[in-house]
């Protein structure tokens, strides 16, 4: 009975080890994607805060880009007193996933001129 089961451990290891390696790689990619998403959110918020202080568009974009992940695209949109900052990025890795974060703020100069 022992002689007939001699190769099963090797065959099972040949199936399990690559599966575990693939799982570990996907887990690491997921963690890197989550970290990139958090950086996108932080970058959008930093840009919105800078815009709320009525800084120039260049300063707003610089603030957002400094917190954004590498290769991220930062867009600024003004609609009246509301300023929106959108950060879009691709996480590292083979999967084609687009990460996006939006933040909006009311410009302070519009609040200062409002009557109570």
* Tokens of residue 47, six digits: 């840009």
* Tokens of residue 86, six digits: 């959108």
Q: Which is more confident, 88 or 1? A: 88
Whether residue 113 is predicted with pLDDT greater than 60 in this model: the reply is no
pTM of the predicted protein model: 0.77
Distances (CA, A) of 10 to 3, 15, 21, 105: 14, 9, 17, 60
Distance CA 29, CA 93 (A): 7
CB atoms within 10 A of CB 47: 32
Among 4-8, 18-22, 51-55, the minimum mean pLDDT is found in 4-8
CB atoms within 10 A of CB 102: 16
Note the pLDDT tens digit of each residue in 41-79: 999 999 999 999 988 989 999 999 999 999 999 999 988
């Amino acid at each position: 009975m022992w002689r007939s089961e001699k190769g099963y451990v090797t065959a099972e290891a040949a199936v399990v080890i690559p599966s575990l390696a693939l799982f570990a790689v996907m887990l690491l990619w997921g963690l890197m994607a989550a970290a990139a998403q958090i950086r996108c959110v932080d970058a959008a918020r930093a840009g919105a805060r800078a815009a709320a202080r009525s800084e120039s568009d260049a300063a707003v974009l610089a603030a957002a880009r400094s917190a954004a992940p590498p290769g991220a695209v930062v867009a600024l949109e003004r609609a009246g007193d509301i300023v929106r900052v959108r950060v879009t990025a691709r996480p590292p890795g083979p999967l084609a996933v687009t990460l996006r974060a939006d933040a909006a703020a009311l410009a302070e100069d519009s609040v200062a001129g409002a009557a109570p």
